[in-house]
Amino acid sequence: MFYRASLQAAAALASLSVLAGCGLLSDSSSEADQKISVGTTSSPSTLDPAAAWDGSWELMRNVFQTLVSFPTGSTSPEPDAAKECKFTDATSMAYRCTLRSGLKFSNGEKIDAEAVKYSIDRITKIKVKGGPAGLLGSLDRVETKGDDTVVFHLSKADATFPFILATPAMSIVAPGDYPADSIRDDGKVTGSGPYVMDSYEPGKKAELTKNPSYKGFADRKNDAVTIRYFHDSTPMVKALKAKEIDATYRGLTAEEVIALEDNQEDNNGLQIVESVGADIRFLVFNPKDPAAGKLPVRRAIAQLVDRDALVAKVYRGTAEPLYSMIPKGIAGHATSFFDTYGDPDVAKARQILTRAGITEPVDMTLWYTTDRYGSSTAPEFAELKRQLEASGLFRITLKSAPWKSFQEGFNKGEYPVFGRGWFPDFPDPDNFVAPFVGQDSVTGTPYLTNEITQDLLPSARKESDRGAVSDQFKRAQEILVKDVRLLPLWQGKLYVAAGEDIGGGERALDPQTVMQMWELYRKTSW
């Protein structure tokens, strides 16, 4: 009934295609052998939803519940822990949810309206820097009515609020196990999701088993899942070929994807499922840095970066150049950076610097994370360094760190320029602009731009028809181009690689590109 344009985008995100290498196996599942092992290079940075605004959501979606969620194939949030949710007014300022009956946490605690209120309130109370409190900017207060009804009163109209509630950050946690004013850090999880987490070894693996008391939308096609975390994709692919794991998600390099697609005879029938992706990569500039804080320096870099060469050399068709913070497939996408800067041009970049009185090569350090976005990240930054230094206008130093320390560093403002990735919280243009602006930017570097935060975003959020917000986001992107605080680089595709005996890969990614482990199953022989 709303978000018509973004719903089309969500449908595109939910559709998966290009299945290479079909096994001659039945799709009927076996009751006796439904244990699945999945590998990924994206390990959680936290197990507490109140601190999570990153790839930790992949685990959380499978062990926690939210009031509303994205069932496979859905194009808008639908009830999960709730049996019904809706706006109660025409101004999109009061959102009411009624809980399913009989819900309980894995520790036996009852899930009621107070538990929901507690879970949401602690996000805003703890307010982890770079955490999901930034998603709740429109929330004024949470009210309970009886044991089963929760009303979210908003301080301003926000037609995207149901999408926010569907994010794993809004997971319902057990009040008895999660402190109201601090993050839980004992390495355990108490949720009510499709699975119970039996054990967790940071950076190594998580063991999940089917939650016997689960009540929700997920139709679980397996009994247990082991998630193995790899620091690099090479051993992950080796484990897949050796049948030590059944499937992989996140982290495959372009070369690995191509090799798996092209060499079916050598890969024991492994299959590749390709998804239309809305994940993006971009550079963040710290305005407090002596060099990156200068607008002419940022504009010169924007004039030099060759996205076509970057994608061709490093990603080989598994990504495409991006000239807007809003990717293709999402309402409001544009080519704003190309419209302003055109093709890479050293002479124009030199002129930008010279006019600002900068005549010597600019020394600059670029940071990236080693274990969040896949093994292609290091070659990507090597190519960026090559391009900038080839102009003669920059001297680039590359530095890297594992995600946890990398995240701490950029949240403390320690990095002059750094690379970030973004996997959508929900498929709407708001989610590709709002998180990166304001005092509590998810990048860790406040970006105060009043026209966007006080005019354009509030105006767009009044529109229940998300196809009617293109003017606001066109203007927002003009501002982003003018400031160059963020520089979009490329938009990716997502791939699930799996053994020939594994089904469900084409249904495993939701519109937030989060892996729904319950869709995977082991086929039986015919």
- What is the per-residue pLDDT for 511? 63
Taking the alpha carbons of 350, 352, 357, 362 in that order, is the dihedral positive or negative? negative
Q: How far, in Å, CA of 433 to CA of 421, rounded?
A: 13
Q: How far, in Å, CA of 95 to CA of 87, rounded?
A: 4
pTM summary value: 0.75
Residue segments in the chain with a per-residue pLDDT below the cut of 50: 1-32, 526
Query: For residue 412, which of 446, 389, 388 has the smallest C-alpha distance?
Result: 446
Query: Which amino acid, residue 278?
Result: A
- What is the per-residue pLDDT for 465? 77
- C-alpha to C-alpha distances, 131 to 149, 299, 314, 395, nearest whole angstrom: 26, 29, 31, 33
List 521's β-bridge partners, or say none.
503
- What is the per-residue pLDDT for 252? 86
- What is the per-residue pLDDT for 97? 98
- What is the per-residue pLDDT for 96? 97
504 near 520, Cβ under 8 Å?
A: yes
- What is the per-residue pLDDT for 33? 58
List 488's β-bridge partners, or say none.
282
- What is the per-residue pLDDT for 21? 38
- What is the per-residue pLDDT for 14? 38
Query: What three-state secondary structure class fits 353?
Result: helix
The C-alpha angle with vertex 481 and arms to 477 and 485, in degrees rounded to 5, equals: 105
pLDDT in tens, 166-177: 999 999 999 999
520 near 225, Cβ under 8 Å?
A: yes
Q: How far, in Å, CA of 88 to CA of 74, rounded?
A: 23
pLDDT in tens, 87-119: 998 888 999 999 999 999 999 999 999 999 999
